[in-house]
Amino acid sequence: MSDKKPLVAILMGSASDAEVMSHAAKTLESFGVANTMRVMSAHRTPADVHELCSNARKNGIKVIIAGAGMAAHLAGAVAAATSLPVIGVPLSGGVMDGMDALLSTVQMPKGMPVATVAVGKAGAINAAVLAVQILVLSGDVELEKLEQFRANQAEGVRKSDRELGRA
Ligand code: RP5
């Protein structure tokens, strides 16, 4: 946790989503991006979702990440309440193992976008990286940090290749 004002709000539909969504928070923190994490449900606490999201811009939030499983309407409900960029993370669980959440999150009607990332942990991490990319455009994160992250990733792949030793 930092004492900087949060730039990203991470919402999740249930406490049962917290382990996966914590990867979004950790990734943002690795870029020095202050964030807030809340459990709020499109179905169980819709008024709370609306209140937070309709006030988010004036409270200094620049991107909202919303993770939910099953009939995952959270990201769409967030998009309905704010014109800030919304990134949806579909989560697995239930009989369809994430396909239900993926389609619920990605299939928004025209004019109300939700930038939908992969199901689960990879999606939570990518949501944070995408938020960082947006925050680079707004000047809130230095481009050098993003480029370093990508260079480190490339170096990790090259190291794996060297260790495999089959060139
Ligand atoms: C969704 O339903 C939540 O995002 C969670 O992934 C799923 C199950 O929620 P719980 O029944 O575990 O609270 O709303």
Say yes or no: CB of residue 14 within 6 Å of ligand 1.
yes
Looking at residue 27, what is its pLDDT?
A: 98
pLDDT cut 70: percent of the chain above it? 99
pLDDT band at 76 (very low <50, low <70, confident <90, very high): very high
pLDDT for 108 beyond 90: yes
> pLDDT per residue over 13-22, tens digit each?
999 999 999 9
Say yes or no: CB of residue 68 within 6 Å of ligand 1.
yes
pLDDT band at 2 (very low <50, low <70, confident <90, very high): low
Instruction: Tell how far the Cα of 93 is from the centroid of ligand 1, in angstroms.
Output: 8
Say yes or no: CB of residue 117 within 6 Å of ligand 1.
no
Say yes or no: CB of residue 25 within 6 Å of ligand 1.
no
What is the 3-state secondary structure of the chain?
A: CCCCCCCEEEEECCHHHHHHHHHHHHHHHHCCCCEEEEECCCCCCHHHHHHHHHHHHHHCCCEEEEEEECCCCHHHHHHHHCCCCEEEEEECCCCCCCHHHHHHHHCCCCCCCCEECCCCHHHHHHHHHHHHHHHHHCCCCCHHHHHHHHHHHHHHHHHHHHHHCCC
Decide: 57 and 82 in contact? Cβ < 8 Å. yes
Token pair 């481009």 in the structure block, residue: 143
Say yes or no: CB of residue 92 within 6 Å of ligand 1.
no
> pLDDT per residue over 110-161, tens digit each?
999 999 999 999 999 999 999 999 999 999 999 999 999 999 999 999 999 9
